């Protein structure tokens, strides 16, 4: 009985192997000249947030370039080096010429794979490492965060705003600080209460964190999370919310006021075009509102009176370069003046943010 089982399974194996080899010669679609662009996502494309924003960018790029490009993507790729390398190998195997990895934790795997495939171009979103054939790209999201802070600061009545945040890394800290500065610019008494979830995408823990903050008396929520869970919690509690990544008016109509948005399409289009005409370089990209990669969503009726005018005024200053959020004086949580009047933070300082500004209630866990 057992012997037969072995024989049977062995037969299946031989048959499948034969099938595998027999069809080996075929290509997997696509002509020689077609550029293949691979996208590595940390969540599902329908997360209604971060990954959706990237996927919209991919679709826009594909639509603009038509037959010149074929794009492939992989969802739910964990932030584990081995997993990322595996997915990249798979994509290169399917002919990828350029690969975009969209989450911070994909960095180590991408840098390792870049050395393995020198002929492929790599671009990593939100990281800081580069290689000959690998660059990174991100946007000055803090600009739109500041604007959304203005809206939240005007809206709150308890002067306590909830901020559900993923990881204590510079990108997230920068966003919290910008948001807080924006809120304080219109409401000096405001406090921004931060809760870490240690995950980009996990609707259950995002929601739990939001609920805890709402219970503590916050009446407006903001988030650095990939899903809409924080806003759902706000809606259920009768509070108001600032979203992130994409517009969520349809998802949470009774809470959504506005959101800082990613418009990745323009960047992806440029990057892939550069690969097509051979002008791609590993120069990092950090675009701001002036380039359109970042914006603040149109405000809903729930936004406070006068917010639109105030935001429009500051937005114009940001786009013209007259104001760039981290202009002194800026105080830390202890009330010390860290950036003096007349000074402003350099890009390098902003990219390494590891302290909170005054008005933030919460800690940055220390590394050993």
Partner 1 sequence: MRIAKRSELSGNQIALVRLAAVFGALVFGGLFLIVLGENPITIYISMVKGGLGSFFRFRETVNIAIPLLITSLGVMIAFKMRFWNIGAEGQIFMGAFAATYLALNFSDLPKPLLLMMMGTASMVMGGIWLVVPAWFKARFGTNETLFTLMLNYIALRWVTYLQYSLWKDPNAMGFPKIASFGQNALLPKVFDIHIGWIIALVLIYAIYVYLNHTKTGYEIMVIGESEDTARYAGIDIKRVILKTMFLSGAVCGLVGMIQASGISGTLSVDLTGGVGFTAIITAWLSGLNPVMVGVVSFLFAMLRQGGSFIQTAYQIPASAAEILQALILFFVLASEFFLRYKVVLFKKKGRGI
Name the minimum Å distance from CB 336 to partner 1.
21
Instruction: State which residue, 89 or 254, has the beta carbon closest to partner 1.
Output: 89
Instruction: State which residue, 75 or 291, has the beta carbon closest to partner 1.
Output: 75
Q: 72-91: which residues touch partner 1 (CB under 8 A)?
A: 72-76, 78-83, 86-87, 89-91
* Other CB atoms within 10 A of residue 358 CB: 18
By CB under 8 A, residue 170 contacts partner 1:
yes
* Other CB atoms within 10 A of residue 133 CB: 18
Site string for partner 1, 349-368 (x = CB under 8 A): ---x-x---------xx-xx
Instruction: State which residue, 95 or 304, has the beta carbon closest to partner 1.
Output: 95
133's CB contacts (< 8 A; 6+ apart) are 114, 117, 118, 119, 120, 121, 122, 282
Name the minimum Å distance from CB 35 to partner 1.
16
Instruction: State which residue, 91 or 190, has the beta carbon closest to partner 1.
Output: 91
Instruction: State which residue, 55 or 219, has the beta carbon closest to partner 1.
Output: 55
Site string for partner 1, 234-263 (x = CB under 8 A): ------------------------------
Spatial CA neighbour of 280 closest among 127, 122, 128, 124: 122
203's CB contacts (< 8 A; 6+ apart) are 227, 228, 229
Name the minimum Å distance from CB 71 to partner 1.
9
By CB under 8 A, residue 128 contacts partner 1:
yes
* Other CB atoms within 10 A of residue 6 CB: 9
By CB under 8 A, residue 14 contacts partner 1:
no
By CB under 8 A, residue 348 contacts partner 1:
no
Residues in the site for partner 1, rule: CB under 8 A? 1-2, 4-6, 8-10, 12-13, 16-17, 19-21, 23-24, 28-29, 38, 44-45, 72-76, 78-83, 86-87, 89-91, 93-94, 104-105, 108, 112, 128, 167-170, 173, 198, 352, 354, 364-365, 367-368
């Amino acid at each position: 009985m057992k012997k037969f089982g072995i024989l049977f399974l062995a037969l299946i194996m031989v048959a499948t192997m034969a099938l595998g080899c027999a069809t080996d010669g075929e290509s997997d679609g696509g002509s020689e000249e077609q550029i293949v662009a691979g996208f590595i996502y940390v969540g599902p494309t329908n997360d209604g947030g971060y990954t959706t924003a990237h996927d919209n960018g991919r679709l826009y790029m594909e639509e603009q370039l038509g037959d010149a490009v074929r794009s492939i993507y992989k969802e739910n790729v964990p932030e584990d080096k081995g997993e990322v390398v595996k997915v990249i190998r798979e994509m290169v195997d399917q002919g990828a010429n350029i690969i975009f990895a969209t989450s911070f934790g994909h960095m180590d795997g991408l840098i390792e794979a870049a050395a393995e495939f020198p002929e492929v171009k790599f671009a990593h979103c939100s990281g800081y490492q580069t290689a000959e054939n690998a660059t990174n790209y991100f946007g000055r999201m803090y600009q739109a965060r500041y604007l959304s802070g203005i809206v939240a600061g005007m809206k709150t009545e308890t002067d306590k705003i909830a901020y559900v945040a993923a990881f204590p890394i510079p990108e997230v800290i920068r966003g919290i600080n910008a948001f807080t500065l924006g809120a304080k610019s219109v409401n000096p008494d405001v406090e921004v209460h931060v809760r870490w979830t240690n995950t980009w995408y996990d609707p259950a823990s995002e929601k739990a964190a939001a609920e805890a903050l709402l219970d503590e008396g916050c009446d407006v929520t903001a988030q650095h999370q990939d899903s809409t869970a924080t806003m759902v919690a706000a809606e259920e509690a009768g509070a108001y919310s600032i979203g992130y990544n994409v517009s969520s008016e349809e998802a949470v109509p009774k809470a959504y006021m506005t959101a800082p948005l990613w418009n990745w399409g323009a960047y992806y289009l440029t990057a892939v075009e550069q690969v097509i005409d051979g002008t791609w370089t590993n120069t990092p990209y950090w675009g701001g509102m002036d380039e359109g990669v970042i914006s603040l969503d149109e405000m809903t009726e729930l936004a406070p009176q006068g917010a639109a005018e105030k935001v429009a005024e500051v937005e114009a200053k940001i786009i013209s370069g007259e104001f760039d959020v981290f202009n002194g004086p800026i105080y830390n949580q202890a009330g010390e003046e860290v950036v003096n009047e007349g000074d402003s933070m350099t890009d390098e300082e902003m990219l390494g943010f590891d302290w909170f500004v005054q008005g933030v209630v919460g800690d940055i866990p220390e590394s050993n």
